[in-house]
Amino acid sequence: MTTMKRLLTYLTIPLALLTSCIGEEEFDNSCNGNFEALWQLIDEHYCFFAQAEEEFGLDWNAVHDKYKPIADTCRDELILFDMLGNMLGELRDGHVNLSSMFGTSYYWDWQLKEPMNFSDSIQRGYLGTDFKMTNGIKYNILPDSIGYVYVGSFSGGFNTNNLSLMLYNMRECKAIILDIRNNGGGKITAAEKLASIFIKEQIHYGYMQHKTGKGHNDFSAPEPLYLEPSEGARWLRSVVVLTNRGVYSAANHFVLIMRQLPHVAIIGDKTGGGSGMPLNSTLPNGWNVRLSACPTLDLDYRHTEFGIEPHIKVDITSEDWNNGRDTIIERAKALIFDYYSKKEEQEG
């Protein structure tokens, strides 16, 4: 009998292991179920709770309590969508969105509550009508041999040849003004490709982490980020990068790299931030959620989620705005003149 019992035990343990189904806690497809599912998804995966608490006192449990009564009484999908969008807005993160058949919820305050510091009408006066364009990058040569390059997005797929041709066309320029204002991001790889034409050797420019568990502080050790120089043409003369609050995500990543280069100056307004690489998931009703999951840190292990300060803070003045003059571009030109006049003085 004892042997029989032992045999049964030996058979039962592996069978119990095997027959256990691996699943996930499923919320029902109701207003309340979708609310709880979204709250928990953010609670387990979002990566900036500590920074949000420090920056503006976010308490995610309090957010649950605030929206729970609305979820309890909600009976309509449209109301649910608005309510869940508002709840995500509490994170004040442009990378956190909810997508459904009703559209996509966005948090825009990081940009729209700040000075615009960019006007494409004013920019047209500098760029002219004879500008060149390569895969979304517009460029022209301003008077006094200063190259002006506008990169409005990193969503495009410019390649090394495009960038080499651009530098060839600007070979007579003494400096480049690289305008990335209102660049809301795109591909990190595109941002890195552009930055790689401004370095001559591998650089270490920051760190990246990811969540290792469901706790708010479960993070991997920061892994260093390196950038290799471009295999095509490279620009090692002066560069002035123009920024405003519309510089976000991959564009913020670009500034993170460029800020460390000795021949680069960042001028304009603080960037919009968005340093967390977003990942996606879904709710019981099939709506898609995007949330920041993998934070990027600078060389001093500081988060850049809420933006990167420029070297020189410049806003477009009301007077210049009314006169069709871009204060930030003018300041960049003055900076370049100043640099070269000092250099000439030193060289005698």
Partner 1 sequence: MRILRLITTALALLAMPAMSRAQYVVTDTIMPQRIVVKGSQIGVTLLNNLDTYLSNYNHKGIGLNYSHETFRDARTGNYRWKYQRLFNATAGYATQGRNMQFTGLISQSWSGYHPFKITKGLTLLAGAQIQLEGGALYNPSNGNNPAAAKLRTALAATGMAIYHFPVRRSEWIARYQLDIPLMGATFAPEFGQSYYEIFGLGHAKGVVAFTHPGNNPSWRHMLSLDIPLKARQRSTTLRLSYIADLYQSRINDINCHIYRNTFAIGFARTILKVKKNNRLNDYSPY
Helix, strand, or coil (residue 336): helix
**CB closer to partner 1, 12 vs 189:** 189
**CB closer to partner 1, 145 vs 280:** 280
CB of 293 to partner 1, least distance (A): 5
CB of 111 to partner 1, least distance (A): 20
**CB closer to partner 1, 33 vs 89:** 33
**CB closer to partner 1, 1 vs 18:** 18
Our CA angle for 109, 300, 245, nearest 5°, is 20
Q: Which structure tokens are listed for 81?
A: 């969508």
CB of 289 to partner 1, least distance (A): 9
Helix, strand, or coil (residue 4): helix
What single-letter amino acid sits at 126? Y
CB of 123 to partner 1, least distance (A): 29
CA proximity to 193, closest of 240, 150, 141, 257: 257
Place of tokens 């009408």: 121
Euclidean distance between CA atoms 241 and 199, whole angstroms: 15
225: CB partners within 8 A, 6+ apart: 204, 205, 206, 207, 208, 296
The CA distances from residue 95 to 16, 272, 295, 345, in Å, are 42, 11, 12, 48
**CB closer to partner 1, 158 vs 337:** 158
What single-letter amino acid sits at 40? Q
C-alpha dihedral (46, 50, 53, 55), degrees to nearest 10? -100
CB of 190 to partner 1, least distance (A): 12
CB of 121 to partner 1, least distance (A): 32
**CB closer to partner 1, 202 vs 282:** 282
**CB closer to partner 1, 155 vs 341:** 155
What single-letter amino acid sits at 29? N
Euclidean distance between CA atoms 262 and 3, whole angstroms: 78
Euclidean distance between CA atoms 323 and 187, whole angstroms: 35
**CB closer to partner 1, 1 vs 17:** 17
Report whether 135 contacts 106 (CB < 8 A).
Answer: no
Which positions lie near partner 1, rule CB under 8 A? 14, 17-26, 37, 41, 45, 47, 99, 101, 188-189, 208, 210-214, 218, 220, 223, 225, 277-288, 290, 293-294
